[in-house]
Amino acid sequence: MDHFLYRDGNLFAEDVAIADIAAAVGTPFYVYSSATLLRHFKLFDDALDWTDHLVCFAMKSLSNQAVLKLLGDTGAGMDVVSGGEYARARAAGVPGDRIVFSGVGKTKEEMRMALEGGIRQFNVESEPEMKALSDVASSMGVEAPITIRVNPDVDAKTHAKIATGKSENKFGIPISRGREVYAMAAALPGLKVIGIDVHIGSQLTELEPFGLAYEKVAELTEALRADGHEIKRLDLGGGLGIPYEQGNSRPPLPTEYGALIREKVGHLGCEIEIEPGRLVSGNAGLLVSKVIYVKEGEDREFLILDAAMNDLVRPAMYEAHHDIVPVIEAPIGTEYVPYDIVGPVCESGDTFAKGRQMQPLQDGDLVAFRSAGAYGAVMSSEYNSRPLIPEVLVQGDQFAVIRARPTFDEMINRDTIPEWL
For residue range 371-417, what is the model confidence (pLDDT) as tens digits?
999 999 999 999 999 999 999 999 999 999 999 999 999 999 999 99
Strand 144-151 vs strand 121-124: parallel, antiparallel, or unpaired?
A: parallel
Q: Sign of the C-alpha dihedral, residues 55, 147, 125, 50?
A: negative
> For residue 14, what pLDDT is reported?
98
CATH fold for the domain made of 4-31+282-412: Lyase, Ornithine Decarboxylase; Chain A, domain 1 (2.40.37)
Q: What is the 3-state secondary structure (H, E, C) of the chain?
A: CCCEEEECCEEEECCEEHHHHHHHHCCCEEEEEHHHHHHHHHHHHHHCCCCCEEEEEEHHHCCCHHHHHHHHHCCCEEEECCHHHHHHHHHCCCCHHHEEECCCCCCHHHHHHHHHHCCCEEEECCHHHHHHHHHHHHHHCCCEEEEEEEECCCCCCCCHHHECCCCCCCCCEEHHHHHHHHHHHHHCCCEEEEEEECCCECCECCCHHHHHHHHHHHHHHHHHHHCCCCCCEEECCCCECCCCCCCCCCCCCHHHHHHHHHHHHHHHCCEEEECCCHHHHHHHEEEEEEEEEEEECCCCEEEEECCCCCCCCHHHHHCCCCCEEECECCCCCCCCEEEEEECCCCCCCCEEEEEEEECCCCCCCEEEECCCCCCCHHHCCCHHHCCCCCEEEEECCEEEEEECCCCHHHHHCCCCCCCCC
> For residue 171, what pLDDT is reported?
65
pLDDT in tens, 112-160: 999 999 999 999 999 999 999 999 999 999 999 999 999 888 765 544 5
Q: One fold for both 4-31+282-412 and 103-274?
A: no
- Domains of the chain, by residue range, sit at 4-31+282-412, 103-274
Backbone angles phi, psi at 390, to 5 degrees: -65, 155
Q: What is the pLDDT confidence band of residue 298, given thresholds at 50, 70 and 90?
A: confident
Q: Sign of the C-alpha dihedral, residues 85, 90, 91, 94?
A: positive
Which residues are CB-neighbours of 388 under 8 A, at least 6 positions away? 377, 380, 381, 382, 403, 405, 406
> For residue 1, what pLDDT is reported?
65
C-alpha distance across the termini of the chain, in Å: 56
The catalytically annotated residue of 187, 332, 346, 417 is 346
pLDDT in tens, 250-295: 788 999 999 999 999 999 999 999 999 999 999 999 999 999 999 9
Q: Give percent above pLDDT 90 in the chain.
A: 86
C-alpha dist (Å) from residue 328 to 8, 354, 365, 366: 9, 21, 8, 7
Mean per-residue pLDDT of the chain: 93
Which CATH number applies to 103-274? 3.20.20.10
Do residues 49 and 322 lie in contact, with contact meaning Cβ atoms separated by under 8 Å?
Answer: no
pLDDT in tens, 341-363: 999 999 999 999 999 999 999 99
In the annotation, is 270 catalytic? no
Q: Sign of the C-alpha dihedral, residues 309, 286, 283, 88?
A: positive
Task: State the amino acid at position 410 in one-letter form.
Answer: E
